[in-house]
Amino acid sequence: MQDMTWNRVLITGAAGKIGTTLRAGLAGRHPALRLLDRRPVEGLRPGEEALVADLRDRAALARAVEGGDAMVHLAGAPDPFDFEEMFRANVRGLYDLFEAARAAGVKRIVFASTNHTYGMYPVSHGMAPTDPVRPDSFYGVAKVFGENLLRYYFDKHGIESVSLRIGSFEPRPTQQRHLSTWFSPRDAVELVARSLKQPGVGAAIVFGMSNNTRIRIARPNWEAVGFKPQDDAETWRDRMASEGVDVDGELEWKRHGGIYEGKDY
Q: List the catalytic residues.
A: 139
Strand-pairing partners, residue 242, are none
CB neighbourhood size of 253 (10 A): 15
Phi first, then psi, for residue 108 (nearest 5°) are -145, 135
How many CB atoms lie under 10 A from the CB of residue 206?
A: 25
Residue 30 DSSP class: S
Sign of CA dihedral 187, 189, 190, 196: positive
Pairing of strands 160-166, 108-114: parallel
One DSSP character per residue, 186-255 reads HHHHHHHHHHHH-S---EEEEEE----TT--BS---GGGGT------GGGGHHHHHHTT--SSSS-S--B
Residue 227, number of CB atoms within 10 A of its CB: 21
